[in-house]
Structures are given as C-alpha cells and as structure tokens.
Structure 1
Amino acid sequence: MKLKNNLAFILSAGLFYGMVACSEPAANVDNSEPSPYTIESEKLTFSLDTLYTEFENPWGMTWLPDGRMLVTERKGEILIFKDDKYTGEKLTGVPAVHEVNQAGLLDIAIHPDYESNGWIYLAYAKDMGDGGVLTISRAKLDGNALVDLEELIVNLPEWKGGRHFGTRIVFDNENYLYYSNGDKGNRPQNAQELDNSHGKIHRIHDDGRIPEDNPFVNTPGAVASIWTYGNRNPQGIIFDKKNNRLWSVEHGPKGGDELNLIEKGKNYGWPEVTFGIDYDGTTITEETEKEGMEQPVTYWDPSIATCGMTLVTSDKYPSWKGNILVAALAGQHIARVEMNGTSYVGEEKLLDGIGRVRQVSQSPDGYLYAIVEATGLMVKIIPQQD
C-alpha cells in the first residue's frame, strides 16, 4: 500500500509508519525495502520516523559535534536529544525569557568554529520596561549547563504584546552573524524607519560588534546593525554557503508570504507594498510594487504562514538537492521549493496535514528533521532506496 501525500488521512486512520507504530530510532530502520506506508512525493519516496510527540511550542534546533541535538521550547527550555531520542534532560542556565504570544526563547545555533571556541548562540525575548526586547546572546556548555552567558545585542525599543518577534540566526562564510527581527505588528513606522531595530534583518560580528561595512553605519540616527529593512516578520533565514546567498521567508498578513533573496541595504517593502490584505479583510495597500523596493522571488496567496526553512545540500536526497524547504504553520505542511539559481521554478506540498510546522532543518549527517506545534512532533524524513 502506498499513500501519496495525504498525511491527514494517514493520521486519522492510524496507519502512519513511525507516527503510530514505529518505536525504533531511525538508525535502525531498514530502508532496503519500502515501508508499506511510504509516502510518494513527486521526486522522492520516503517514510517518517517519529522521534518525539510531546513538544508544546518548539522553535529552533541545532546539533553539537558530539551528535546531541538541542531543541528550544518557546517557554524557555532547551531539550537534549541523543541518537534521535529524548534523553529526558534539559539544559540549565538558560536565561529568563519574556514569554508572551510569539515572544520567548526562539532560535539556537552553534558557531561554525564551535569545536575550537564552544559558543552557542540564542535568540530570545527578555523583560524590559513594560514589554519585551529581542536579545541575541552567546554562552558555552559545562556539562548540561549554559555558562559564561554574554549579551551581544539588544534590539530596541522594547515592545508590548509579543507579536512578530521573528527570529532566526545564521552565519555566513566569513562568520558574520545574521538574525531576523519582526516588525512587532506596528506599521508603518517600524519596518520602514531605520531608527529602530524592528522589521529588519541584522548583521553583526560573532562577538556582537558592528561591522564597519554595514549599509547604514554612517546614516545619522540609524541602527547600525541593520542589513535590510521593510521585512514584516521573517521567521526563516538560511545562508547558502556554496553560492554565498542569504535567503529569507517572510510571514505575511492574510496572503503575501514571501521568499526573498536578502541583499545588503535593500528595502523589501513592508507595508508600502504587499500581496496580502489585513486579517479583517481590509486593504493594507493597493501597491504590489514600488520603485526602490524589492520584489519577492515568489509569494504565497493565500498565506501558508511561512516559518523556518532549510536548504537541501545532502546527497541523501539527490532529487531534492538545491531545493528550499519551508515550514508552513497555517498550511500545515512543508513547501518544497524548486529553484534555478535565484529563480523560482515550482513547489510541492510535503506532509500535508501534519500540523503547524515550526522548523525544518538538515542535520550534519545529512538527514532532514521537522518540528511541529500543536501535535507536538519531531519527525525525521527517511529516503527510501531506489
């Protein structure tokens, strides 16, 4: 029996390989013969191994060189997995977070030179004034404890309500750190004005210093860490190391989610231009393009509520190599976006109906993982041999 991309049916029928029946770790799955409950996508046949089912609001994930995986929960916890199993342990020493709505403990990443310097980077909202403020910090591990915590940059002003915090962290080939910060639901002031940190993608040195060649360093009144602006709520960013490109997906309003190629100093238009409307159905603007503002590489209307993303570089998925995988919250799937260089070719829905996918990531050993809200899942995509 082969089921083609109808995960809602599989779940309701109680048939889904891994979700219901598989208790063995992925490393023990025999891929020599297709599972009776494999999923046939357009270019790849695969099955899933369900690794965990008890997340509340997972957000970010990363891997340590010793093979352990760290997954953040927005309420301020970091869970430890080993050999694709939850160890029952959590990191201690996690900084206190401002957990309101979409704010809290968000992304986690290790330094590209982690084996020599041991730095782990965190993006989180902390209490400040009457609200919260996005903070980028780094720390080291002593056993399971975070130690030597350093705040690198605080993204002012503080904001009430917890809306549109972003946030992802990536490093480029020169170890510059990029992070995204949503507009906090305030328009038009935040995203289009350079005197605040919100509605922007930022670039800093790995120790928090501001690079001298950032685009607005010499602009009076501008926040010096800004790399791009006019970004509504960029909840996913990736760096393509082979081609030296930075990509982002921007969570739009009702319609108007965007895939953007992120380039120095550019204005991505929000809310002056958009392909979406407001949640109450009213018009935000009639403009979908304007001189001096970038067009998305592609956009989604209706909105799929884009979130985390990854670039497939692994030889384990040869037919997906070079594709961008985008987590969809409202869409409850993963969008496999095919690219030709920087041009959009097409896309396919994967795991349609699995739940609100918060992040999809590729591990150092080349496997794809996804974490899902509401259903509380972490799953691993297991390619089937031809």
Structure 2
Amino acid sequence: MPKTNTPISSENQNFYVDTLHTGLNNPWGMVWLPDGRMLVTERKGELLVFENEQDTGTKISGFPETYERGQGGLMDIQLHPNYTENGWIYATYAKPGQGGGSTALIRFKLGNNEITDLETLYQTMPLSTSGVHFGSRIIFDKAGYLYFSTGERGTKGNAQNLANDLGKIHRLHADGRIPGDNPFVNTSGAKPSIWSYGHRNVQGMVYDGSNDLIYATEHGPRGGDELNIIEKGKNYGWPIITYGIDYSGAIISELTGKPGMEQPIHYWTPSIATCGLLYYTGDRYAGWQGNLFAGALALTHVARIEISNGKYTHEEKLLEGIGRVRHIAQSPDGFIYILTEGPGMLLKLMPLE
C-alpha cells in the first residue's frame, strides 16, 4: 500500500494518497452535504457523519433495523438532486422481514444528527434468507428519475423472471411512484418498476449526464465481471449468457452471446470483483476527465477506464494492493475519494502537477 504523501506516477496523472480515516469496518457508500459534511454508510447498519476531514465521525441515530447477513446490510446513499430545497436523502439497505430479508429503498431527512421523516419507497420481493447478492447502488438522471439496483440473491433464475424484483435495475420517481413510461408497465405479471433485467449483482452504477448514459459494473461468478451501458427494457443475459464459470468450476452456460441479450462493453476474466463506480467530471485531475473508475474488491485496486462514444478503449490499474475497494466518489469540489475495507479506510487522491 502506498504511504501517505508518497508521489505516485500513473499514465495521465500523478498524485498522492491522503489517508483521512482508518478504523472503518465495511464502509459502503458516501455523499457530501451542501454544508461540507460527509456521510458514510457502514454495512453493519450505521450511518456516520464527518464534520470535516479531521473528524473521526459520529453515528447518526434512528436508522432502522438492518438485516446484516453475509453481504447484506446498509449499502448506498445519495442526495436528492434538489436536496437544498427538499432535504431528502436516499439509501438502500437489507431490510429484515418474515422469511428473511430484502433490498429496500428509503428516504429520510437529517436533524441534529438524527434521522427524521423516514419513508420506505420500495422493498424488493421475494424475501430470501440468502446472504449474497443484495446489490445495490442509487443514481438520479438529469430528468430526476431514480434508479437502484438489486442482485438476484444467489438464485440465478430470478434475474430472468420479470415477476420478481431480483437481479434488476429499477426506475422510480423520487417519491417512489412508478413512471408511466417504464418498459414493463403494461406487461402482464411483470413488476412495473423494472428498467432492465438479467443482472447478477450490480454494485457499481453511475450516470453520465453529458451523454445521458448509465454505466453499471456487475459481479460475475469466477470471471465475467461486466461493464455495461444500461438501457430501457434490455436483458443483460444472466445466467443464460456469461463469460464466467461457477465457483466450483462447473459450467453455468456454454453461451457468451444470444440474440436479444446485451453484450458488456467490457468484461474481466479473472474476476476483479467490481464494486463502486465513478464517472469523473471535475477539473482537479486534467488527465482523467471523462474516465470511469471502478473498484476491485478481490484484486484490490482501482481500475481507471477510458471510454470513447460508449466504447471501452483502455484500462490502467491504480493503487494495486490498497485493499478491497468498495466505493469511489467525486466530492463537490472535484476530488476523488475512495472507501476500502480490510483495512477500512477513507482515502483522498491529491493531484500533483
């Protein structure tokens, strides 16, 4: 792991790592409030607020009971695009219920480090006792629609079944209503919130507002992690097509392509275990504008990805051995922050001329 303040040379931008915080457990998501405070989610069900970069973090009270099982827990967090007017904060977490748990989307407000006005906007069904593949990331597009991802909970067939919520990306209005132009609103038996399906476990999702594109990274099994462009009503193929094999070595499918199913714009074999995704739009790192940054849990690095007209063109590994990279985000003032687990750290990348 690079030491703090040690210059690091990379292809298009030199930088150093500023280690802001250590001692985190399994941090998952992060977002900045307009007053400069930072919110960080911990998978165990804790929401932390950092008053500044020297603060050690304070636990926000009032977060609901979390289904902390395996990969399940408190996951992503995002602000409403008009947060300064309405104060809404959105999160996804594993919600317990009769028969297991599920991925739920909530929104709430903050007052004196306490959650208020909490609303459950969507709870995925069916419930499952599985401890894997909950998703989940949240994004908003420029029209104000909300998208969130959910994994197939380890049951492969869920991803192709439009009658359940699992292995999908969902699209909602910001208040949880179903948009009338969603692709399966008029499909008998289908969940009307579904925007795309055939996903295994999307844990990275980002909106490119300049090109009106949604990028998502998805865990494959052994190999076959995917980078996709997400489009309305499309089927991304899991488990009918895949570039990976099962953890046992067994063949999941002989097919890597099939008519009517989307191809990734890139896939990783062996699996890097993709988690967290950033589309960089700032001006702090001149060489990185318009690049994607994907976290690697298993291979413990940040993948810097160059894209052109929606096509993958080049990749560079940054910070190899840094730890399990859970998320990467851009602050309002254009800096890149990274959350890792094992060890649990909050890092800031500082550009060098």
Q: What is the aligned counterpart of 2:147 among 153, 178, 184?
A: 178
Inter-partner Cα distance in structure 1 for 2:66 and 2:312: 38
- How many pairs are equivalent? 353
TM-score when normalising by structure 2: 0.99
Which runs of 5 or more residues in structure 2 are unaligned? none
Q: Is the 8 A contact 1:93 1:145 kept in 2?
A: yes
SS of the residue 1:190 aligns to = helix
Query: For residue 115 of structure 1, what is the aligned residue in structure 2?
Result: 84
Inter-partner Cα distance in structure 2 for 1:142 and 1:272: 47
Identity, in percent, stands at 54
Q: Does 1:161 align with 2:148?
A: no
Deviation at 1:88, TM superposition (A): 3.5
Q: Is the 8 A contact 1:79 1:86 kept in 2?
A: no
Query: For residue 358 of structure 1, what is the aligned residue in structure 2?
Result: 326
SS of the residue 1:338 aligns to = strand
Q: Is the 8 A contact 1:106 1:168 kept in 2?
A: yes
Q: Does 1:372 align with 2:340?
A: yes
Describe how 1:38-49 pairs up with structure 2 within 5 A: 38-49=7-18
Describe how 1:199-238 pairs up with structure 2 within 5 A: 199-238=167-206
SS of the residue 1:40 aligns to = coil
More deviation, 314-323/261-270: 314-323
SS of the residue 1:249 aligns to = strand
Inter-partner Cα distance in structure 1 for 2:278 and 2:172: 21
Q: What is the aligned counterpart of 1:81 among 46, 50, 65?
A: 50
Q: What is the aligned counterpart of 1:307 among 254, 275, 282?
A: 275
Query: For residue 337 of structure 1, what is the aligned residue in structure 2?
Result: 305
Q: Does 1:279 align with 2:263?
A: no
Deviation at 1:143, TM superposition (A): 1.5
Q: Is the 8 A contact 1:92 1:144 kept in 2?
A: yes
Residue type at the aligned position of 1:339: I
Q: Is the 8 A contact 2:218 2:225 kept in 1?
A: yes
Q: Does 1:290 align with 2:277?
A: no
SS of the residue 2:303 aligns to = strand
Q: Is the 8 A contact 2:327 2:338 kept in 1?
A: yes
Deviation at 1:242, TM superposition (A): 1.2
Computing the radius of gyration from Cα coordinates, the structure with the larger value is 1
SS of the residue 1:310 aligns to = strand
Inter-partner Cα distance in structure 1 for 2:4 and 2:22: 14
SS of the residue 2:24 aligns to = coil
Residue type at the aligned position of 1:159: S
Residue type at the aligned position of 1:380: K
- Following TM superposition, the consecutive aligned residue runs of length 4 or more in structure 1 with deviations greater than 2 angstroms are 85-88
Q: Does 1:245 align with 2:213?
A: yes
Describe how 1:146-157 pairs up with structure 2 within 5 A: 146-157=115-126
Q: Is the 8 A contact 1:359 1:370 kept in 2?
A: yes
Q: Is the 8 A contact 1:109 1:169 kept in 2?
A: yes
Which runs of 5 or more residues in structure 1 are unaligned? 1-6, 11-15, 19-36
Query: Deviation string for 1:246-301 (max 9, x for gaps)?
Result: 11000110000000000000000000000000111111111000000000000000
Deviation at 1:91, TM superposition (A): 0.9
Query: Deviation string for 1:26-64 (max 9, x for gaps)?
Result: xxxxxxxxxxx2000111110010011111111011110
Q: What is the aligned counterpart of 2:94 among 99, 102, 125?
A: 125
TM-score when normalising by structure 1: 0.90
SS of the residue 1:85 aligns to = coil
Q: Does 1:319 align with 2:295?
A: no
